Chain A
């Protein structure tokens, strides 16, 4: 019998598999086809202070082994999330959930985190300081160590739940940003958010995405994500949630060997709605194959 349990910022989860924010909504679409209580937890749709429609369409483009999105944080706003989405979520998911929060000013982040922190079902708050889609917003916090630290400090001051800062890979040195947020009390970091990219339609001779650029995700980013997790593991002591192109139980184990305590699965959910369920079901066999008794024991094992 293999052990898939891990402890993420003091909360034990049955397995390290966490659907990533923006690929799992508030869980209902997936709860229609399998019991999502099988998951370690999931990170719900990025929530902001005010409701947002997001960017104009088209906001999806295909790439070799991946995709670009420029959704731009469409969400109903924190008030509606608390009033409508969380009560619905509680009916299909009975574990602590990871809240995902974005903002466009330090006050935004603090306001939204303070409100979401009071919700009983919220286990962790993942703070997205790295979404590359929003003009004049998120990007600047995540690409500058001082701004990243300032958001962390402001959010920590008004919350009680573990704060996981989600980092962007679109920087020169991701380890520097990780150290900066750790120094202001972040309880964990998650990485990587999407890589900035674009495609041009030959037929129209124009960018495919109306927003011009979007975030690249899918298996094509996995080696980049793995490298970032490796570097951040060497730089900080707080737990790392690894993500970026993870599509199989083998990928999860590779991420954990690089230093991840838990692993988020993003684009794979969109291609195969059963992706996370399959990964969890495959653990026993894959762990046996590689002589792994406990996933917790392999964290950072490749260092």
Chain B
């Protein structure tokens, strides 16, 4: 964990209610699947946001405006300085991927797949990516994943773009050795049921601190009680209790 100040250098809307922010600061020790916890003026608790990318001293996050805090974030101007805790959570284990990892992101669960995909490609793997959204106006980052060299499938619930249905409706098109997923809990459960290999799931929970001190976000697993913020947010398929 590190506590440093980042400067906002870009903040733009990329899809319906969805914003991409680029922050400049100390990105050392940030791993794929981890999150950062951002202090926002006027709010007591920090906002935990997953890491989308880190490159050249820049941290990219993508977030959905869901409440008052993220609304303020969406309106932040370039040059805003933000107090950020980085290096939070366990992150994904890239060593388990095999040659053909499958990455499955749904909505606000898409961003953490990006850094993971980039790093897997760098390791010489050939990842496939399934991105799930509600509707066409919510779709983002399809091209970004394609530019990394991944085979990308997009699903929309209403069928307005790509494959009609849920992320699991694209599973049959893909051959995979292992999978990584992040998204709303019903989607994670569907991926759990549909998947035929082992894999890793990134969970979300309301957090107090984000670094393991308050026990606010605990969950039960087959391997004992875990704190989503510190022992997670990534859990392996074999330990999950639904």
Cβ B214 vs Cβ A60 within 8 A: yes
Residues of chain A contacted by B209 (CB below 8 angstroms): 23, 269-271, 273
Cβ A29 vs Cβ B216 within 8 A: no
Contacts known (A25-B213, A273-B85); A57 close to B46, Cβ less than 8 A: no
Residues of chain A contacted by B207 (CB below 8 angstroms): 60
- Whole-angstrom distance between the alpha carbons of A25 and B218 in the complex? 13
Q: Does A193 contact B (CB under 8 A)?
A: no
Cβ B220 vs Cβ A270 within 8 A: no
Residues of chain B contacted by A23 (CB below 8 angstroms): 209, 213-214
Cβ B44 vs Cβ A29 within 8 A: no
Distance in Å from the Cβ of A126 to the closest Cβ of chain B? 18
- Whole-angstrom distance between the alpha carbons of A22 and B218 in the complex? 13
Instruction: Give per-residue flags for A265-287: 1 if the beta carbon is below 8 A from chain B beta carbons, else 0.
Output: 00101111110000000000000
Residues of chain A contacted by B225 (CB below 8 angstroms): 53, 74
Distance in Å from the Cβ of B113 to the closest Cβ of chain A? 25
Interface of A is mostly: loop
Cβ A71 vs Cβ B44 within 8 A: no
Q: Does B107 contact A (CB under 8 A)?
A: no
Given A57-B206, A69-B208, output 11 extra A-B contacts at Cβ < 8 Å.
Answer: A23-B209, A25-B212, A53-B225, A62-B44, A71-B214, A74-B225, A267-B44, A270-B45, A270-B209, A271-B209, A273-B211
Distance in Å from the Cβ of A290 to the closest Cβ of chain B? 27
8 Å CB contact of A58 from B45, B206, B213? B206
B residues near A (Cβ < 8 Å) are 1, 3, 39, 43-46, 85, 205-209, 211-220, 225, 230
| Nearest A residue to B85, CB-CB | A273
A residues near B (Cβ < 8 Å) are 22-25, 29-30, 32-33, 45, 53-54, 57-67, 69, 71, 74, 208, 218-219, 267, 269-274
Contacts known (A33-B1, A274-B3); A57 close to B212, Cβ less than 8 A: no
Residues of chain B contacted by A67 (CB below 8 angstroms): 44-45, 208
Offer 27 A-B interface pairs, CB within 8 angstroms, sorted by A: A23-B213, A25-B213, A25-B215, A29-B230, A53-B218, A54-B218, A57-B206, A58-B205, A58-B206, A59-B206, A59-B217, A60-B214, A60-B216, A61-B206, A62-B45, A66-B44, A69-B208, A69-B214, A71-B218, A218-B44, A219-B44, A269-B209, A270-B45, A270-B208, A271-B44, A273-B85, A273-B211
Cβ B218 vs Cβ A74 within 8 A: yes
Cβ A60 vs Cβ B217 within 8 A: yes
Distance in Å from the Cβ of B194 to the closest Cβ of chain A? 25
- Whole-angstrom distance between the alpha carbons of A243 and B225 in the complex? 29
Residues of chain A contacted by B39 (CB below 8 angstroms): 271
Cβ B44 vs Cβ A63 within 8 A: yes
8 Å CB contact of B208 from A29, A53, A60, A272? A60
Distance in Å from the Cβ of B134 to the closest Cβ of chain A? 16
